[in-house]
Amino acid sequence: MSEESRVHLSRSAPKAYQSLAAFSKTVGALASDAAIDARLKELVQIHTSQINGCAFCVRVHVDSAGRVGVSADEIAQIPVWRESGVFSARERAGLELAEAFAHIDRGGVPDDVYNRVGSVFTEEEYVALSWILVAINAFNRVAIAGRYPVPPIAVAAEGATASESE
């Protein structure tokens, strides 16, 4: 198969993709019930997508993060969260858990990570956050395998300032 004819999994098997989307909706409800805020949810999905190399999902979740109030600076700090002072203890724990789930092939979630994260989140929160990470890892694999395109974002009135284009 050439890259031009690469199978687009969500279009080629819409029922399977709809099931994944329904699963994601269920996970979102679980997260909401556990009081996982939208900001934390987007931060861990961006970080997981960065680790997995999924440009498509990074784009989707950066856009979503902006809509829930995550700043451009905070998004830029995600890859260096350990050295950055912009994240809360809950966000830092979530980002660490995101790394463990993205690198699940390295022996699962290490005990020290599990214990640190477990000291920050309740069991209900940990479960919800874990399912968020399972879901984003699945979506990353669909988009990466299909090489979903991430074209440059079109800029309205190229070269114009915001006030000139309004």
Residues spanned by the domain of 18: 13-148
Spell out the residues 6+ positions from residue 143 whose beta carbon is closer than 8 angstroms to its own.
54, 56, 57
User: For the chain, how many structural domains are there in total?
Assistant: 1
Torsion angle, CA of 155/54/7/134, rounded to 10 degrees? -130
Q: State residue 116's pLDDT score.
A: 97
The answer as to whether 157 is a domain residue is: no
Question: Token digits for 16?
Answer: 């399977």
List Cβ<8 Å contacts ≥24 apart for 26-31. Answer: 27/128, 27/131, 27/132, 27/134, 27/135, 30/127, 30/128, 30/131, 31/128, 31/129, 31/131, 31/132
The answer as to whether 71 is a domain residue is: yes
Burial class (CB in 10 A: 0-12, 13-18, 19+), 64: middle
The answer as to whether 8 is a domain residue is: no
The answer as to whether 163 is a domain residue is: no
CATH number at residue 130: 1.20.1290.10
- Report the candidate in 32, 25, 28, 63 with the shortest Cα–Cα distance to residue 46: 63
The answer as to whether 40 is a domain residue is: yes
The answer as to whether 45 is a domain residue is: yes
**What is the CB neighbour count within 10 angstroms for residue 95?**
22
Q: State residue 7's pLDDT score.
A: 83
Q: State residue 156's pLDDT score.
A: 53
The pLDDT tens digits along the chain (166 residues) read 445 567 888 889 999 999 999 999 999 999 999 999 999 999 999 999 999 999 999 999 999 999 999 999 999 999 999 999 999 999 999 999 999 999 999 999 999 999 999 999 999 999 999 999 999 999 999 999 988 989 898 865 444 444 333 3
Helices (H), the chain: 9-12, 14-33, 38-52, 55-67, 72-77, 89-102, 111-118, 123-145, 162-165
Spatial distance between the Cα atoms of 23 and 142, rounded to a whole number of angstroms? 14
The answer as to whether 155 is a domain residue is: no
pTM, 2 dp:
0.88
The answer as to whether 103 is a domain residue is: yes
Spatial distance between the Cα atoms of 66 and 153, rounded to a whole number of angstroms? 15
